[in-house]
Structure 1
């Protein structure tokens, strides 16, 4: 959907600010690809770019009452996306530094044993999480991660749209992340889990 005039965009922002989901959906469909493109260019990661789109629109919806006060919405989104990506990249860099520091502090024999145990634990939790997925999400996740098929290939194979594959894959990944975070007691363990998966 394309928003033709500033008037229409202003109206959509005002309606969204009052809680109109249809108007917010119109804004989402108009701008999601632009946000995705910016995020992909900045991160170089399809997965991170998709996460950024979800995070940005979630933030906008949570603070929807502020939408009616935004005049240059596209510029606002660009700045919001850029800041979100830079914050996420800084956070990831800090997390990686923490992991590196922890590995340096451990003697190498202990480090190898610890990593081996952690990898086994993470693999087991990942398998459990995948087993709990609904049948179609599980099938799509396995085709994507184990068979390394692209979204379009999966869509063609299962005779569904590429968007449906994308949706199922995003839901599967959210479930796996949430399940894994709950099962890994040690914060460092789940941090490592997300850095390597």
Structure 2
């Protein structure tokens, strides 16, 4: 077999359906950059775009047996990225709608005592999860979310780059979202933005 980088998309697709890992690597190398740019332009968020493209390739490998070797591989990948980008937008819309309704609920005057108890329990749970973050991430997150410092202020205070600070805050939020679940996480986000 000649080198994989000389294979046509059609040949790679056929090899992929047979579970050929080198063919998958070649597809990844050939299309990752283009798909990332495509997703990034639409999402205006490089981290989100990376997630979308990585998930796409993960799905491509898991569903490799279902690929049509006679189909257009690049068109298939671009369509898949577009659909995932649309999913991100749809999810954000649902999340925003949910946040709005939760905010409305929290704004209502008749907040009962049992709600205050639940709120205290929720606050304790959130604090517990923040304490469980890696030390540097926890320090950055507390400065950002509780001391309301900007990424620039934190980077100057701790001698780190702004990008590092931004990444650490984003990773902390991702960890908290996965550990706390959507409802508690959204309530937490609402609280820190009040």
TM-score, structure 1 as length reference? 0.64
User: Structure 2: where are the runs of 5+ without partners?
Assistant: 141-150
Contact residue 17 and residue 69 of structure 2 kept, 8 A: no
Going from structure 1 to structure 2, the CA distance change for 1:29 and 1:93 (only over 3 Å counts) comes to same
Deviation at 1:11, TM superposition (A): 2.0
User: What number of residue pairs does the alignment pair up?
Assistant: 165
1:125-140 superposed matches below 5 A: 125-131=129-135
Contact residue 36 and residue 53 of structure 1 kept, 8 A: yes
- For 1:149, the equivalent position in structure 2 comes to 161
- For 2:18, the equivalent position in structure 1 comes to 18
Deviation at 1:83, TM superposition (A): 1.1
> Could you list the per-position Cα deviations for residues 119-140 of structure 1 after superposition, in whole angstroms to 9, with x for gaps in the alignment?
6743541441325xxxxxx78x
- For 1:134, the equivalent position in structure 2 comes to none
Alpha-carbon separation, structure 1, partners of 2:35 and 2:189: 23
Q: Which one has more relative contact order, counting CA pairs under 8 Å at least 6 apart?
A: 2
Structure 2 SS opposite 1:19: coil
Going from structure 1 to structure 2, the CA distance change for 1:192 and 1:52 (only over 3 Å counts) comes to farther
Going from structure 1 to structure 2, the CA distance change for 1:38 and 1:119 (only over 3 Å counts) comes to farther
Structure 1 SS opposite 2:132: helix
Contact residue 126 and residue 180 of structure 1 kept, 8 A: no
